[in-house]
Amino acid sequence: MDISRKTDYALRMLSMLVKDTDSLLSVRTAADEVGVPYSFARSIQHGLVQAGIVESLRGVHGGMRLKIDPKQITLRQVVEAVQGPLVMNDCTAPEGVCSRMDGCCYHPIWSGTQALVYSYLDSVTLDDVVNCRRAPAVDTKFADREAFCSYVSCSEGCPRRKRTHGASVSAG
């Protein structure tokens, strides 16, 4: 999993838009502020328009502005709009296939890590981050070992636990 440089720049450009929702931001100004070439900033703007996050207005006094309420979009939604699904490993991708997936002892770990990252990035909106309203957090189920199979689809590779004299022992 990697947060791309393009995503980093897109988030910085979006921060500028969140801080000043009443005016249009020119792509040239955004490029200068973020420190990227104009053509790269245009590419980022195009992707954000395609994702429905910003709208672009042409002309001498044109620019871009948020199309969505920054309180309604999570950080994960922005990241995935720019670079596609966040995946820990090929086997956790939406169409991911691995011949060893059902019996692999690591697959549930990568799936659990992905669920943890999703929970963290889904816990804050663009508005929360830019305006320092709330820090990210994760669901408490991730601290409970017994809840593991509630967020990871357990199969042969998933550690099954059974109770033996008060201790948790892996079965299988």
43-93, pLDDT tens digit by residue? 999 999 999 999 998 877 788 999 999 999 999 999 999 999 888 888 888
What residue ranges of the chain have pLDDT lower than 70?
101, 154-172
User: What pLDDT does residue 155 have?
Assistant: 56
User: What pLDDT does residue 8 have?
Assistant: 94
User: What pLDDT does residue 154 have?
Assistant: 63
Distance (Å) of CA 97 to CA 39, 69, 93, 94, 101: 36, 36, 8, 9, 7
Residue 130: burial class (beta carbons within 10 Å; 0-12, 13-18, 19+):
middle
Domains of the chain in start order, with CATH, are: 1-69 (1.10.10.10), 85-167 (no CATH)
Q: What is the pTM of this model?
A: 0.79
Our measurement of the distance from residue 29's CA atom to the centroid of its chain's CA atoms, rounded to an integer in Å, reads: 26
